[in-house]
Amino acid sequence: MIKSVVVAAQILEALANSGGPVRLADLSRQLDMPRARIHRHLKTLRELGFVSQERNGERYWLGSRLFVLGQAAREQFEITRIAERPMHELRDAFGQTIVLSTPINGEALIVAVTESENVVQISVRPGVRLSAPQSAQGRIALAWAPDAIRERILDPLSAVERATTEARLDAIRSRLYEFSSGEMLGGINILAAPLLGDGDELAGTIAVVGAAQDIAETPDAVATLQREAAAISATLGSNAYATLLKGS
């Protein structure tokens, strides 16, 4: 790989995850790189419009050009196009908000949301990253993550917590769904299923998000979600759901 491109990507990802303007010193500490090296990359990224800098200051944030590129990427992103109709069908079937996410570094990045038509809506913001083991989508992302990423996320857990989490991740890969009750927010349940592509690699996650009284881990609810997940996965090149649904 070209090192300068890797460094630029690391800087942009650090800025994206910061939630606000970041000082050069903080970037240097976070990325474990010399300030001078990061400053050279920031200067080029700023001139290209990918990074903005406060006047007479050393705080940086993502530039407007990335917003334009992000919009274009979203429109071209295949999984959002394939999942658009199934998301609306699930919204109508459950009467709840449907969330599409993609895996990134063992977490789930929300890329599209089809909100319910209820008077009171549960809103989920695209761009949010959901981590494991605190979320259903995050656990699905971690269940298919490479060993190195999985180890990094599980390493801080106690021996008991790690064993419990690993058993749950194995169960997710076997049953092809996950359920979360009140973990992210009290009173909110999430039923999620993996979207698999060629080679049964994880391409994304589709989830139903709703109040606890509206979303439950019932066989009918799981089957309804998995049928749509199976259709999306088949389009992406995987028939991993075929045997599972045949027996349901």
Check residue 198 and report its DSSP letter.
Answer: G
pLDDT at 73: 67
Note the pLDDT tens digit of each residue in 33-83: 999 999 999 999 999 999 999 887 789 999 988 877 876 766 656 888 899
Residues of the chain where predicted confidence (pLDDT) is lower than 50 = none
Spell out the domain ranges in the chain. Answer: 3-68, 77-246
pTM of the model: 0.73
Q: Do residues 191 and 215 make contact, with C-beta atoms less than 8 angstroms apart?
A: yes
pLDDT at 119: 67
Return d(Cα 183, Cα 191) in angstroms, integer.
12
pLDDT at 74: 63
pLDDT at 75: 60
3-68 folds as Arc Repressor Mutant, subunit A (1.10.10)
pLDDT at 124: 82
Helix, strand, or coil here: 80?
Answer: helix
Residue 103, preceding peptide bond in cis (omega within 30° of 0): no
Residue 133, preceding peptide bond in cis (omega within 30° of 0): yes
For the structural domain made of 77-246, what CATH number should be given? Answer: 3.30.450.40
Token pair belonging to 134:
């605190």
What percent of the chain is predicted at pLDDT more than 90? 65
- Where does residue 155 rank: exposed (0-12), middle (13-18), buried (19+ CB within 10 A)? exposed
pLDDT at 127: 84
Return d(Cα 92, Cα 109) in angstroms, integer.
24
